A = this chain, B = another copy of it.
Amino acid sequence: MSAIKDDPIQIISEYTRFPSVSTDPAFASGMEGARDYAAKLLAAAGLAVEIVKTPLHPIVLGRRAGPAEWPHVVIYGHYDVQPADPLDQWTTPPFEPAVRDGRLFARGAADNKGPHTVGILALTRLLARRPDLPLRVTFLLEGEEEIGSPSFPEFLRARAAELREADFVLLSDTGSPSAEQIVVTTGLRGIAGFELQLTGPRTDLHSGLHGGAVFNPVQALAEICASLHNADGSVNVPGFYDGVEPPAAWEREELRKFPLTEESYREFLGVDALYAQPGVTPIEATRYAPTLEFNGIGGGYQGGGSKTIIPARAFAKITCRLVPGQDAEDIIRKVTGAVLARVPAGVRAEVKVMQGNNAYCVVPPRRPNTPAGQNPVLARAFDAAAAAVTEAFGRAPLFLREGGSVPIIGDIKRVTGLDSLMLGLFTPESNLHAPDESIELSIITRGIAAYELLLERVADGGR
């Protein structure tokens, strides 16, 4: 494959031409095309490729073996993409990559074909320059990330023995505020999701004829939902904060260097005031505090004008974001228990649990809360990442936890014991999961340089 000697933008453009939409069977050939292309890139880098069948979309592995004394890095990425709808909101078609204003526009350019291709091309260059590099590498490219990685836990269990031999996972599936300020993501919040369904009378009732005799399920829903926060903004579920620690002093310090003020954030969100809760600033809250959020609510008449009914049913969709110290199963029990205890007579309730994953957190070396016995290769990788980003991007990265959830990172840790080093290569302008997804060209080229430096330092550091 000669393409690898070409411009990286050219390679990512070819890769993103394959419409690898994992959720829609109509895109099976796009999935296959992207998978083959990824496999060729890995082979061109000198890796031994294995396609691992799963019940749905295969996982692509690319291995560089070596003696046990060589550091071993697992590099994660995913070759599947989100659906591209609404198509009419794209400036150029989603699977016809286009360069404009210093950015490459295509579905998957930023999430995640561009970022993991950065890793493949960096390794390609590094091995071309140093064919004897003392580094073991396992590339692991998933095809089901955008549909919740259903096959991934079983894959992890099947390959646990092999993966446990590695030192750490490296990935770029998180964000940075800009090319001028790269973030190394040191943690992600967990998530616990519920749907609360209330049922009152056997059918919608005439609110004139029956109003006053029936506990309106929407009223019950409002009362239960309202009870879930205290007046100070904290979550009102007994034991919800058990085990929750405030952010470490060094984490607060890092966040203060983040290029965002409360005023600029407030303006960005378009609200007249940020949410207040005890113990954290609003910006800290999005990364270091747990939440209970209502994602949707519904019941009764939703159309124009009025319809004078007492609705028979109402529901709310609720997700909690969890931080280290909280256990998703425990939070699910506590929230479910609190909700069911607050259902009034005359209304029946059911809580459906939708999902549950713990938070993930890794502490860089030499912080007050760095765990004793941290893998020395991981520790060196953090230092290498700091140096590599500083050299390639011109400024040291910030080490920050992020508010979103990437359940597979926690799964990997739990099953294999491996921690993850997450380098943010997309930015707020990247429009992830939205029309006109794009990645900055300079982040691709600087990212390749940073990955090359990072991997070389990890290799030369030994085990």
Contact = CB atoms under 8 A, between A and B. Distances in A.
A397 to B, nearest CB: 18
Contacts of A203: 270
A275 interface: yes
Contact of A211 (B200, B222, B307, B403): B403
A310 B274 CA distance: 13
Contact of A402 (B209, B277, B285): B209
What is the copy number of this chain in the assembly? 2
Interface stretch (A123-131, A313-321, A362-370): A313-321
A219 B293 CA distance: 8
A176 interface: no
Main secondary structure of the interface of A (DSSP, over half): mixed
Nearest to A148: B305
A225 B214 CA distance: 16
Contacts of A409: none
A223 interface: yes
Given A209-B403, A269-B210, A403-B211, A314 B297 contact: yes
A346 interface: yes
A119 B124 CA distance: 94
Nearest to A307: B295
A299 B221 CA distance: 13
A298 to B, nearest CB: 5
Nearest to A270: B202
Given A282-B213, A289-B212, A296-B301, A207 B277 contact: no
A271 interface: yes
A336 interface: no
Contact of A212 (B214, B321, B347): B321
Interface in A239-295: 265, 269-275, 277, 280, 282-283, 285-286, 289, 291, 293-295
Given A213-B285, A354-B306, A200 B271 contact: yes
In this complex, which of A216, A282, A310, A311 has the most chain B Cβ atoms within 10 angstroms of its Cβ? A216
A275 B402 CA distance: 45
Nearest to A233: B215
A205 B266 CA distance: 13
Nearest to A214: B275
B302 A298 contact: yes
A86 interface: no
18 contacts: A201-B269, A202-B269, A205-B269, A206-B404, A212-B280, A213-B265, A218-B225, A218-B295, A218-B296, A218-B297, A219-B293, A271-B347, A272-B346, A295-B310, A296-B299, A305-B354, A306-B317, A308-B319
